[in-house]
Amino acid sequence: MDVDFKKDEELEKLLRDLKDVKQSDYEFHDNIKPVYSTGKGLTRETVEEISAIKKEPDWMRRLRLKALEVFQSKPVPTWGPDLSGIDWENTSYYNRPDERRTNDWNDVPDQIKETFQKLGIPEIEQKYLAGSVAQYDSEGVYHNLRKVWEDKGVVFMDLDSAIQNYPDLVKDYYCKAVPVSDNKFAALNGAVWSGGSFLYVPKGVQIDMPLQTYFRMNGEATGQFEHTIVVADEGSKVHYIEGCTAPRYDKDSLHSAIVEIYVKKNAKARYTSVQNWSKSVYNMPTKRAWVDENAQMEWVGGSLGSKVTMLYPSSYLRGPHASASNLNIALAGAGTFKDTGAKALHFAPYTSSRIVAKSISIEDGKAIYRGLLRVNKGATHAKSKVQCDALLINDTSSSLTFPHDEIYEPSATFSHEASVGKIGTEELTYLRSRGLSEDEASSMIVLGFLDDVMKEIPMEFAVEMNRLVKLEMSRYGAVG
Amino acid sequence: MSKLEISDLSARVEDKQLLNGVSLTVNGGEIHALMGPNGAGKSTLGYVLMGHPNYQVTGGSVKLDGVELVGKYPEERARAGLFLAFQNPVAVQGVKLSTFLRTAYNQVHPNEKMTIQEFYDKMKLHMKKVGLDESFISRSVNDGFSGGERKRFEILQMVILRPKIVILDEIDSGLDVDALKMVAEEIKEYYNQEVGFLIITHYQRILKDIEPQFVHILIDGKIAMEGDNSISLKIEEEGYDWIRGV
């Protein structure tokens, strides 16, 4: 009981600290001119230019050009949300904010430092993190790793730095789990990627504090194309977190990332992301994990902002007893479209997967669950459980579920559960009759709906998510 | 001393008229029983007083300490000091009992600064008194509670939130004899603090433990008879038919 009470106390304190922060505190934009930009549009020259600025090895340059060809040959997908608003011609694909890259916040240019301070990043790093990377537009501007982990051989820096410092290590993993041919947006990333993190945890090293990368997109009509690689070597343990925000503009921006996670034998990796892009961002990342024998992969995602998000973190269960879990919260606010879900592919015996997807639609917000479950022949005794719950706040809100199952192994067992609910008058009235305002009551019901996922994420991120949900709810006022 | 004044109150749900001019005054320190056959509008009166959005007031007024409540939101009524113990409290999935109660407390008593430790201590003390195990603190509101546990939790909320006027809607249903005793004790202890009670009940059972000074009989959305507790005893023996015949 004492533990329980302490948790409440800490929660209240965190909420108090965060109380005065408003959505506008994320949506501010800095008056920073990039020191270098490739300008608008994407051609072979743009790609050559990015590679040259970065003084990359030739293998990377060739991979970029190959990816560009794939990108140009693939049509824009039309099976999901409307993507016709992406202005390919007028997007600038590479913007470098500053020449420097540092491991000391004091050396980060003042205005950029202020931005990250406003977002609370240095403070969070100090309190909760084993290491952190901060990316501003196209480039990482800061990275730091506590010495204790550095001494144990952990590598944590932006991917560009890693290519310079550990080219062979990077080459072993780069675009192995997510080949650029995977989809149009992965190909785009392959061509123009910049920034992202590289995290390598050596055999047997278990990091108890999370490591975080924070992405900030500042420019209007720009693209952010980071590529992140996390390698949890045999028997290791790691928790990696990503947070992202952007100012709101009239012209849309594009975020198209690749995240590759390699969980080796007996290792355990957790990837948490809280995305709060502004409502002028198309968010189209490709995220995938390779999970080896007896390894565990956990995806935890909060997709709160953006105009359109298409995201289906995938787990390839490659070795016996590999397991994956996927907890996802999607909040579809007014005028936004969340097409999210998860994929679990079982290639080996005794593999297991669990997917819990919760969506909340507000006003005309649209939330879709799209999932794939595949069990190959020979993946004997594979197990999978999928649960999708949707909560509709208004009469105009909508939600759809598209599960797709391909089961080729007769000994596999799997289950699907889906529910759709509305915030009920009875629940609202009950809470209000005790003195809670309509806003408080409805956000309490929403958070209650999310509770089984919230319980599994670190408290400071649960609080952050909690606050964002409340913000979003109060912005629309009345429910029903 | 608080005062709840209900004057000529009429209300309906959709097209159905359920209350037809109810007048009733509850002062602090008084216990009133509202009795009546099924479908007489007893629970409706509770909901209307609390401001349930499904019920439309078509006439009359409800004043708490001189302030008109009709047209006010449920939360405004709660903050003014009105409390309704629901007949069938709903479950709210994932909302922790302690979080809910503390949020409510802070709303109803914004000027009282109670630390979370003090709040927990107080909660635990009263949980013991109403017979709810401490472990309920981290359960979701009414989720998976038995009928009796829900009723105990309603009373817990009442003593924590400290309203001036309390409406208890069929508080004894779902409670066995021992549980009813505990709950009645807690209610009586709370009553001693000059609180006004309106006890809505179909049966006389609870009125043995908590004796009302005033009994009102509601039939077809109207007060058909008023008097002292002797009416409730007669109803116990003869039912409601004799009143209809009056």
Assigned token pair, A75: 């049509």
Strand locations in A117-256 (E): 131-136, 139-145, 155-158, 197-201, 211-216, 223-224, 227-232, 237-245, 253-255
- 15-44 of B, contacting A, C-beta below 8 A: none
Residue A427, chain B, CB below 8 Å: the answer is: yes
Residue A456, chain B, CB below 8 Å: the answer is: no
Q: Judge whether B165 and B2 are in contact, CB under 8 Å.
A: yes
Task: Say if the Cβ atoms of A432 and B78 lie within 8 Å.
Answer: yes
Task: Say if the Cβ atoms of B95 and A447 lie within 8 Å.
Answer: yes
pLDDT reported for residue B242: 86
Task: Say if the Cβ atoms of A449 and B93 lie within 8 Å.
Answer: yes
pLDDT reported for residue A5: 57
A155 half-sphere exposure, CB direction, 13 A CA radius? 24
Handedness of CA B210, B211, B215, B220 (dihedral sign): positive
Task: Say if the Cβ atoms of A440 and B100 lie within 8 Å.
Answer: no
Task: Say if the Cβ atoms of A445 and B73 lie within 8 Å.
Answer: no
Which residues are paired to A271 by β-bridges?
Answer: A240, A299
Read off the DSSP letter of residue A251: S
Rounded-to-integer distance, Cα A200 and Cα A195, Å: 16
pLDDT tens sequence across A333-386: 888 999 999 999 999 999 999 999 999 888 899 999 999 999 999 999 999 999
Backbone angles phi, psi at A87, to 5 degrees: -95, 85
In order of A190, A193, A262, B179, the CA distances from A175 in angstroms are 8, 12, 11, 65
Taking one residue from A and the other from B, the number of pairs with CB-CB distance under 8 angstroms is 98
B144-151 long-range Cβ contacts below 8 angstroms, 24+ apart = B144/B91, B145/B91, B146/B174, B147/B173, B147/B174, B147/B175, B148/B174, B148/B175, B148/B176, B148/B179, B150/B88, B150/B89, B150/B174, B151/B85, B151/B89, B151/B175, B151/B179, B151/B183
Of A477, A379, A388, give the one whose Cα is nearest residue A437: A477
Distance from CA of B169 to the nearest CA of A (A): 14
Distance from CA of A22 to the nearest CA of B (A): 21
Q: Which of A12, A424, A435 minimises the CB distance to B107?
A: A435
pLDDT reported for residue B158: 96
Residue B215, chain A, CB below 8 Å: the answer is: no
pLDDT reported for residue A18: 46
Residue A430, chain B, CB below 8 Å: the answer is: yes
Task: Say if the Cβ atoms of B75 and A12 lie within 8 Å.
Answer: no
Query: Residue A110: how many CB atoms within 10 A of its CB?
Result: 8
Assigned token pair, A117: 């301070």
Task: Say if the Cβ atoms of B53 and A429 lie within 8 Å.
Answer: yes
Distance from CA of B52 to the nearest CA of A (A): 6
Residue B89, chain A, CB below 8 Å: the answer is: yes
Sites in chain A below the pLDDT cut of 50: 1-3, 18-22, 478-480
- 96-115 of A, contacting B, C-beta below 8 A: none
Handedness of CA A426, A430, A436, A440 (dihedral sign): negative
Backbone angles phi, psi at B45, to 5 degrees: -60, -45
Q: What is the 3-state secondary structure (H, E, C) of A84-98?
A: CCCCCCCCECCEECC
pLDDT tens sequence across B34-62: 999 989 999 999 999 999 999 999 999 99
Backbone angles phi, psi at A26, to 5 degrees: -90, -30
Distance from CA of A325 to the nearest CA of B (A): 21
Sites in chain B below the pLDDT cut of 50: none
Task: Say if the Cβ atoms of A434 and B95 lie within 8 Å.
Answer: no
Q: Which of B84, B93, B103 minimises the CB distance to A448?
A: B93
Contacts of B77 in chain A (CB under 8 A): 433
Q: Judge whether A94 and A194 are in contact, CB under 8 Å.
A: yes
Q: Which of B77, B90, B116 minimises the CB distance to A427?
A: B90
Nearest residue in chain B measured CA to CA from A452? B94
Nearest residue in chain B measured CA to CA from A3? B138
Residue B56, chain A, CB below 8 Å: the answer is: no
Distance from CA of A423 to the nearest CA of B (A): 10
Strands A36-37 and A95-96: antiparallel
- Sequential DSSP letters for chain B: --EEEEEEEEEEETTEEEEEEEEEEEETT-EEEEE--TTSSHHHHHHHHHT-TTEEEEEEEEEETTEE-TT--HHHHHHHTEEEE-SSPPP-TT-BHHHHHHHHHHHH-TT----HHHHHHHHHHHHHHHT--GGGGGSBTTTT--HHHHHHHHHHHHHHH--SEEEEESTTTT--HHHHHHHHHHHHHHHTTT-EEEEEESSSHHHHHS--SEEEEEETTEEEEEESTHHHHHHHHH-SHHHHT-
- In order of start, what are the domains of chain B with their CATH numbers? 3-89+163-244 (3.40.50.300)
Contacts of A426 in chain B (CB under 8 A): 90
Distance from CA of A451 to the nearest CA of B (A): 5
Q: Which of B79, B116, B135 minimises the CB distance to A9?
A: B116
Q: What angle do CA B85, B99, A464 make, to 5 degrees?
A: 145
Contacts of B73 in chain A (CB under 8 A): 432, 437-438
Amino acid of residue B86: F
Max CA pair span of chain A:
68
Task: Say if the Cβ atoms of A4 and B73 lie within 8 Å.
Answer: no
pLDDT reported for residue A464: 67
Distance from CA of B19 to the nearest CA of A (A): 20
Distance from CA of B232 to the nearest CA of A (A): 29
Residue B139, chain A, CB below 8 Å: the answer is: no
Nearest residue in chain B measured CA to CA from A435? B75
Amino acid of residue A50: I
Contacts of A451 in chain B (CB under 8 A): 93-95, 140
Residue B111, chain A, CB below 8 Å: the answer is: no
- Rg of chain A over CA atoms, in angstroms? 22
- Helix residue ranges, H only, A230-274: none
Q: Which of B77, B89, B107 minimises the CB distance to A436?
A: B107
In order of A48, A114, A149, A464, B88, the CA distances from A461 in angstroms are 39, 21, 23, 5, 35
pLDDT reported for residue A475: 59
Of A376, A358, A359, give the one whose Cα is nearest residue A367: A359
A24 half-sphere exposure, CB direction, 13 A CA radius? 2
Of A111, A109, A102, A99, give the one whose Cα is nearest residue A142: A102
Rounded-to-integer distance, Cα B98 and Cα B140, Å: 9
